[in-house]
A = this chain, B = another copy of it.
């Protein structure tokens, strides 16, 4: 039997109470008799009645929605963070709505639109470009948290920032390789023009070389797009161009896995012939063969801090803040020491 769409009015009629009372029962308001509660509950139960959230939201003029906007295709790294965020948000009694938007959508504009249209309480933006927000964030009139790469302590009016310092983190990776005696180092990363994160990490790499008094030559850098296959091809190209590389830094663990496959196919043993270091610290890296050495981002903390900041902002009207989290280096089996 398919229950037809009932309204609160039908419940009122069937239970013998008024619309107001039914509404009060359904919202657990205090001033309502036990009799009414029971009668209404019975009818609701019988008909599996559910309030129309459109009408309710329209009337209340605000939802309990918190938007999570993720830029770019899903990847295993973001997915983990989103999952944690969703969980935390629902624990706080809110509703998480996730939106995946295209890499080339105007994130800021779209975000503002979605927010206003859905009357959400706030939004968390994952993987957005801080540069875009700098100019356009006033289009968003809800509290927002931007969870992405950060450099300096920017502060905005109602935009909080949570992230790591990607430049420093990447520098840590190259430092590690250099300290292990590697001098012929290849780098696989994103497009430094279009991807702000890649640009930051690229800067970090260069800083490391400079700090060690070494040159960094563009031919060491190979572009890929953060996918397995793209990194796989990039690694093959790079090795063809620079066969004497002894180490590879990949700007994501997923890319590191793609690259490692390529190296294996080329007959290169890891780390005996070529060392590999990744970035992100996904769980999978520890299960790869060999275990991946990587720069580990604090995934859970990124999620926690973002959600906490946003909810504080919503509930306490607290000021926007900027939180920069630390990364760590997880040693696996994919980097070896070179003796000179």
Contact check, A138 vs B2: say whether CB atoms are below 8 A apart: yes
Q: How many angstroms between the C-alpha atoms of A61 and B191 in the bound complex? A: 45
Q: Which of A275-320 contact B (CB under 8 A)?
A: 283-284, 286-289, 291
Q: Kindly identify, within residues 180 to 207 of chain A, every residue whose CB is under 8 Å from any CB belonging to chain B.
A: none
Which residues of A (49-66) have their CB < 8 Å from a CB of B?
A: 50-55, 57-58, 63
Task: Say what secondary structure dominates the interface of chain A.
Answer: helix
| Nearest-neighbor residue (CB-CB) of A114 within chain B | B50
Residue of B2, B117, B261 near A287 (CB, 8 A) is: B261
The answer to whether A284 and B284 touch across the interface, beta carbons within 8 angstroms, is yes
A337 at the interface (CB under 8 A from B): no
A113 within 8 A of B: yes
| Chain B residue contacts of A260, Cβ below 8 A | 287, 289
Which one of A8-16, A71-79, A218-226, A239-247 is at the interface?
Answer: A71-79
Q: Which A234-292 residues sit within 8 Å CB-CB of chain B?
A: 257-258, 260-261, 264, 283-284, 286-289, 291
- Is residue A179 contacting chain B, with contact meaning CB distance below 8 A? no
Alpha-carbon distance between A284 and B2 when the two chains are bound, in angstroms: 43
Distance between A330 CB and nearest chain B CB, rounded to angstroms: 15
Please give me the residue from chain B that is nearest to A287 by CB atom: B261
- Measured CB to CB, the nearest residue on chain B to A3 is B141
Chain B residue with the shortest CB-CB distance to A63: B54
Does A48 touch B at the CB level, under 8 Å? Answer: yes
Our pick among B54, B139, B287, B291 for the contact of A54 (Cβ within 8 Å) is: B54
A191 to chain B, nearest CB (A): 22
**Chain B residue at smallest Cβ distance from A55:** B58
Q: Does A86 contact B (CB under 8 A)?
A: yes
Query: In angstroms, how far is the closest chain B Cβ from the Cβ of A150?
Result: 24
A116 and B50 contact, CB distance less than 8 A: yes
A103 interface hit (Cβ, 8 Å) = no
Which of B63, B138, B287 makes the CB contact (< 8 A) with A228?
A: B287
Interface positions, chain A 77-118, Cβ under 8 Å from B, are 79-80, 82-83, 86, 97-98, 100, 112-113, 116-118
- State whether the Cβ of A24 lies closer than 8 Å to any Cβ in chain B: no
Q: Which 8 A-B pairs have the closest CB atoms?
A: A54-B58, A261-B287, A50-B116, A54-B57, A2-B141, A53-B117, A50-B117, A289-B289
